[in-house]
């Protein structure tokens, strides 16, 4: 019986995805572990591996299709000795979910007459036979297959070429791709400015749903504190001057300080559950990264056990993968605490929305020179404002304040982070 290849659920929040492109064609041999297609989830573009061996008999959902439901049949894999006649049985055996039926072809071409590996305009031949025919300019539709169920094999193609004359494969002109239409600004009413509609991606829809849920169901409260950065900036400059193997940013110090502060105040490293609050024993820090399709939070796992250089290099690699849509599920799913840093954009301070089910998110503003009072005298210092958004079901005010106090002490005494 042919194997039905189903649209996988590649993340806990995924209910549908986009089938970006097929990396295997119909008739290609497939081995277990081969990458057969790329799927766009709500967070990233992921490679999908085959679990069985055989021949890709029929692609039911073409590349570039959006809104493919999880568990919808996207292709059929023929096992050894099976041909096109088995495709009808595979299609009828397990119909696609009702919500997705419209995207599945209504009928699959029937098997070819005995002795010819044809099904509609398709030719059933081994990948090697196809390559030899292409190199020899041979039309496979003129070849009689001697393989199982009339499949064309290498020997059939070689015999046809040797018997000559060779019939050339007809070449059809490929029409030039039509230029993409330029959106024309329109106005919905005389009272509304002209606009262009930008379709929502799966990722943008998920972000909208989760943040709306977070803001409307989580009882947020906010705590802010100012941290002086002059000592940190001095240590950072000295460390960056010692080696070319790393380039430390202020954000790397922030990640390290958050990790160590959570070790000192573990009650802040928690999430809400209806039956129990989860207090995490691992310190896994999610760091918000902006991508062309939306916000994603790659994770620095066990951040309390990593030095500044390791955190810095790991964050740079994760940020590149996030922007390229190449993060693996374990690199962005989970985490116990989130950092959102807009300081590099000059934002002085802001309050971030909690990333559920986590209990806290730290919003980091820009470091800027401000007047401060030291020993009764006015002075100038580089000051950074951070704001902790807290789920009051998980973390009380005193716990949040204790975490910020521990964070401030580490940021203002950066040498203590090196111990």
Cα(308)–Cα(348) distance, rounded to whole angstroms? Answer: 25
Q: CB-side exposure of 278: number of CA atoms within 13 Å? A: 16
Asked whether the beta carbons of 119 and 112 are under 8 A apart, the reply is yes
> CATH 4.10.320.10 in the chain, residues?
112-173
Per-residue confidence (pLDDT) for residue 53, from 0 to 100: 85
Please give the CATH number for the structural domain made up of 1-110.
2.40.50.100
Tell me the pTM: 0.63
pLDDT averaged over consecutive 10-residue blocks of the chain (419 residues)?
82 78 90 86 77 87 88 87 64 43 32 42 65 77 72 78 60 50 59 84 81 93 97 96 93 97 97 93 94 87 95 94 85 92 94 94 97 93 97 96 98 92
Asked whether the beta carbons of 10 and 46 are under 8 A apart, the reply is yes
Per-residue confidence (pLDDT) for residue 38, from 0 to 100: 87
Per-residue confidence (pLDDT) for residue 178, from 0 to 100: 53
Cα(113)–Cα(217) distance, rounded to whole angstroms? Answer: 62
List the catalytic residue out of 116, 220, 301, 392: 392
Q: Report pLDDT digits (tens) over 160-171.
A: 877 765 444 444
Our answer to whether residue 392 is catalytic in this structure is yes
> CATH 2.40.50.100 in the chain, residues?
1-110
Buried-exposed string 157-177: b where 16+ CB fall within 10 A, e elsewhere? beebbeeeeeeeeeeeeeeee
Q: How many CB atoms lie within 10 A of CB 300?
A: 25
Domain 202-418 has CATH 3.10.580.10: no
Q: Report pLDDT digits (tens) over 72-87.
A: 999 998 887 676 666 6
> CATH 3.30.559.10 in the chain, residues?
202-418
Sign of CA dihedral 291, 294, 299, 304: positive
Residue 223, preceding peptide bond in cis (omega within 30° of 0) = no
Please give the CATH number for the structural domain made up of 112-173.
4.10.320.10
């Amino acid at each position: 019986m042919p194997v039905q290849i189903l649209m996988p659920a590649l993340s806990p929040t995924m209910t549908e995805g986009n089938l970006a492109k097929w990396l295997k064609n119909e008739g290609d041999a497939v081995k277990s572990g081969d990458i057969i297609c790329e799927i766009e989830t709500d967070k990233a573009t992921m490679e999908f591996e085959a679990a069985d061996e055989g021949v890709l008999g029929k692609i039911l959902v073409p590349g570039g299709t959006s809104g493919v439901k999880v568990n919808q049949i996207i292709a059929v894999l023929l096992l050894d000795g099976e041909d096109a006649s088995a495709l009808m049985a595979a299609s009828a055996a397990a119909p696609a979910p009702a919500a997705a039926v419209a995207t599945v072809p209504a009928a699959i071409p029937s098997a070819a007459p005995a002795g010819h590996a044809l099904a509609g305009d398709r030719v059933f031949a081994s990948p090697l036979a196809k390559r030899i025919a292409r190199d020899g300019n041979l039309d496979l539709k003129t070849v009689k297959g001697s393989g199982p169920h009339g499949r064309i094999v290498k020997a059939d193609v070689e015999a046809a070429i040797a018997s000559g004359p060779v019939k050339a494969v007809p070449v059809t002109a490929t029409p030039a791709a039509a230029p993409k239409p330029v959106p024309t600004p329109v106005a919905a009413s005389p009272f509304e400015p002209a606009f262009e509609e930008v379709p929502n991606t799966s990722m943008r829809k998920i972000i909208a749903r989760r943040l709306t849920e977070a803001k409307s169901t989580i009882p947020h409260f906010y705590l802010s504190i100012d941290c002086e950065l002059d000592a940190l900036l001095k240590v950072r400059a000295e460390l960056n001057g010692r080696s070319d193997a790393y380039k430390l940013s202020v954000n790397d110090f922030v990640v390290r300080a958050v990790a160590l502060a959570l070790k000192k105040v573990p009650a802040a490293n928690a999430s809400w559950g209806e039956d129990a609050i989860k207090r995490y024993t691992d310190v896994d820090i999610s760091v918000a990264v902006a991508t062309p399709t939306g916000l994603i939070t790659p994770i620095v796992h066990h951040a309390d056990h990593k030095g500044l250089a390791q955190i810095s290099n790991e964050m740079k690699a994760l940020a590149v993968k996030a922007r390229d849509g190449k993060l693996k599920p374990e690199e962005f799913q989970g985490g116990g605490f989130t950092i959102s840093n807009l300081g590099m954009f000059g934002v002085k301070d802001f309050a971030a929305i909690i990333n559920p089910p986590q209990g806290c998110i730290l919003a980091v503003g820009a470091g800027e020179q401000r007047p401060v009072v030291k020993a009764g005298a006015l002075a100038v210092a580089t000051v950074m404002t951070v704001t902790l958004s807290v789920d009051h079901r998980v973390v009380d005010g005193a716990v949040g304040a204790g975490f910020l106090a521990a964070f401030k002490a580490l940021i203002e005494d950066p040498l203590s982070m090196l111990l």
